[in-house]
Amino acid sequence: MKIGVVVLAKQNNLLIFILTIGVFGILNTEMGVIGILPSIADHYNVSVTQAGLLVSLFALGIAISGPILPLLFSGINRKKVMLLVLGVFVLGNIVSLFTSNFTILLIARIIPAFFHPIYCSMAFTVAASSVSIEQAPKAVSKVFIGVSAGMVAGVPIASFIDSSVSYEMAMAFFAIVNALVFIATLLFVPSMPVEERLSYSTQFSVLKEPILWLSIVTVILLNSAVFGIYSYISEYLKTVTNMSPNTISLTLFIFGGANIVGNIVAGKLLTHSATKSVISFPLLLVAVYIILFFTGQFTVPMAIITLIWGVLAGGIMANINQYLIATSAPEAPDFANGLFISSCNVGTTLGAAVGGLFISEMGVPYVVLVGILSLILSLVTILLRNYMYSPAKQLSV
């Protein structure tokens, strides 16, 4: 009996590891090009602004497909869906590597973007369902390590390969990671047929729940609170803190490493004290932003704040966001995770837009106010959600 439990645990650990590397490969494909945009501009003889379309259009594709495609694929064997998505990414990466036409490069980027939410939402669902309900947040937090690593490590890795080897090898890196995950999924992931296929109408019916809409608004506000500032953090460190370019890079690296730590912490917090963690989060981050506002001009305090901010804003917030929406629609997990991904992208876009407005009207130091205001509003929606949450769902907030 014990041997069977150990074998099952090992299989679950391997599955979660493959999912973690899978989301790393997909997020790496999305974000990694940021580190090589100047090389892309030179290679295709376009402006850096045009090259930036590879990032913005990818994000737009995710936002559009997020609520729809995970729902459409929710009734198909999950292993087959994962292989399909990974295959699309590998093919898109290969086309991106060999094409000499910028328009074809854009198309090769946009098509995989629509499949991005399918894999990521399914990865969260599979990770959660592979363990007990109590251990689900911890399992999901492990997959989020891949998300954080893809967002944070992808940029410097691609930039390093580009500068040390070649642009072509940097592009090949994206294809290699996704190809390895494709092979690992093919060989080691068991067939995962959907035992109980939910009708589209059943899944769409969760949209009638006020609790879900409160959760979506909360996620948008929380993401806005972080990315309204993070989108301009390099400019803040340059003009307010007066950091050198190398110190800025080091500070951003600290933020990225703290993201990964935050994922580990989040899994434990949401497993053992979810309600307190969710309610405490905006209060803690408001305190961090207030300290940042008054001490942001000093290098050492700023580095310490960035470390704490990275743990909270990167790792813990992402897990809280997913948890809020997933527990609001447990009867439609794939659809819920798709809504989570779209909500995050909407929040990121909104935060960046409002942050830019604050900077243009008041100056760079006041971009912190975007985060504070968003967090105050998010606390209101969190408390309202907590009050309204139905015990019948048998899940605590």
Instruction: Report whether 62 contacts 341 (CB < 8 A).
Output: yes
pLDDT tier at 1, thresholds 50, 70, 90: very low
Same-domain status, 210 and 174: no
Residue 192, pLDDT > 80, answer yes
Question: What confidence score (pLDDT) does residue 391 get?
Answer: 46
The 10 Å CB-count burial string (b at 16+, else e) for 206-240 is: beebebbebbbbbbbbbbbbbbbbbbbbeebbbeb
Same-domain status, 183 and 208: no
Same-domain status, 101 and 140: yes
Question: What confidence score (pLDDT) does residue 275 get?
Answer: 85
Residue 137, pLDDT > 50, answer yes
Which among 157, 188, 219 is the end of a domain?
A: 188
Same-domain status, 296 and 351: yes
- Residue span of the structural domain in which 362 resides: 202-393
Question: What confidence score (pLDDT) does residue 293 get?
Answer: 92
Interatomic CA distance for residues 22 and 136, integer angstroms: 19
- Would residue 196 count as lying in a domain? no
The Cβ-side half-sphere exposure at 120, using a 13 Å CA radius, reads 36
- Would residue 138 count as lying in a domain? yes
Closest by CA position to 350, among listed 214, 213, 225:
225
Tokens of 66: 């997020």
pLDDT tier at 225, thresholds 50, 70, 90: very high
- Would residue 46 count as lying in a domain? yes
Q: Please give the C-alpha separations between residue 273 and each of 33, 137, 211, 263, 368, in angstroms, as whole numbers.
A: 38, 11, 20, 15, 29
pLDDT tier at 18, thresholds 50, 70, 90: very high
Interatomic CA distance for residues 386 and 214, integer angstroms: 10
Q: Please give the C-alpha separations between residue 333 and each of 121, 123, 339, in angstroms, as whole numbers.
A: 8, 11, 10
Question: What confidence score (pLDDT) does residue 393 get?
Answer: 45
Same-domain status, 98 and 218: no
Which among 131, 161, 188 is the end of a domain?
A: 188
The percent of residues in the chain predicted with pLDDT above 90, rounded, is 30
Same-domain status, 179 and 46: yes
The burial class, CB within 10 Å (0-12 / 13-18 / 19+), for 197 is exposed
* Mean pLDDT value across residues 327-333: 81
Question: What confidence score (pLDDT) does residue 394 get?
Answer: 39
Phi, psi dihedral angles at 396 (to 5 degrees):
-80, 155
- Would residue 193 count as lying in a domain? no
Tokens of 15: 């599955």
Q: Could you read off the pLDDT of 45-89 as tens digits, one per residue?
A: 988 778 878 877 887 888 888 878 888 887 889 999 999 999 999
Same-domain status, 167 and 213: no
Q: Which residues contact 128 (CB under 8 A, 6 or more apart)?
A: 136, 139, 140, 326, 333
Residue 183, pLDDT > 90, answer yes
CA dihedral 21, 274, 342, 258 (to 10 degrees): -50
Which amino acid is located at 356 in the chain?
G
Question: What confidence score (pLDDT) does residue 40 get?
Answer: 87
**End-to-end alpha-carbon separation of the chain, Å?**
34
Interatomic CA distance for residues 395 and 272, integer angstroms: 13
* Mean pLDDT value across residues 261-283: 86
Same-domain status, 62 and 27: yes
Interatomic CA distance for residues 188 and 330, integer angstroms: 27
Which among 129, 153, 188 is the end of a domain?
A: 188
Domain count, the chain: 2
Question: What confidence score (pLDDT) does residue 4 get?
Answer: 47
Same-domain status, 71 and 152: yes
Interatomic CA distance for residues 149 and 257, integer angstroms: 8
Q: Read off the CATH number of the domain in which 11 is found.
A: 1.20.1250.20
Same-domain status, 114 and 234: no
Cα angle 26, 29, 32 (rounded to 5 degrees) comes to: 130
- Would residue 362 count as lying in a domain? yes
- Would residue 35 count as lying in a domain? yes
Tokens of 101: 């036409």
Residue 98, pLDDT > 90, answer yes
- Would residue 10 count as lying in a domain? yes
Any alpha helices (H) in 189-209, and if so which ranges?
200-204
What is the pLDDT of the chain when averaged over all its residues? 84
Interatomic CA distance for residues 66 and 114, integer angstroms: 8
- Would residue 55 count as lying in a domain? yes
Instruction: Report whether 256 contacts 134 (CB < 8 A).
Output: no
Same-domain status, 66 and 209: no
Give the range among 89-103, 196-210, 267-281, 351-365 with minimum mean pLDDT: 196-210
Same-domain status, 311 and 376: yes
Of 30-39, 147-156, 184-193, 235-244, where does the model show the most confidence? Answer: 184-193
Question: What confidence score (pLDDT) does residue 198 get?
Answer: 63
Q: Could you read off the pLDDT of 197-219 as tens digits, one per residue?
A: 666 676 777 778 888 899 999 99
- The string of DSSP codes covering 378-390 is HHHHHHHHHHH--
Question: What confidence score (pLDDT) does residue 376 get?
Answer: 96
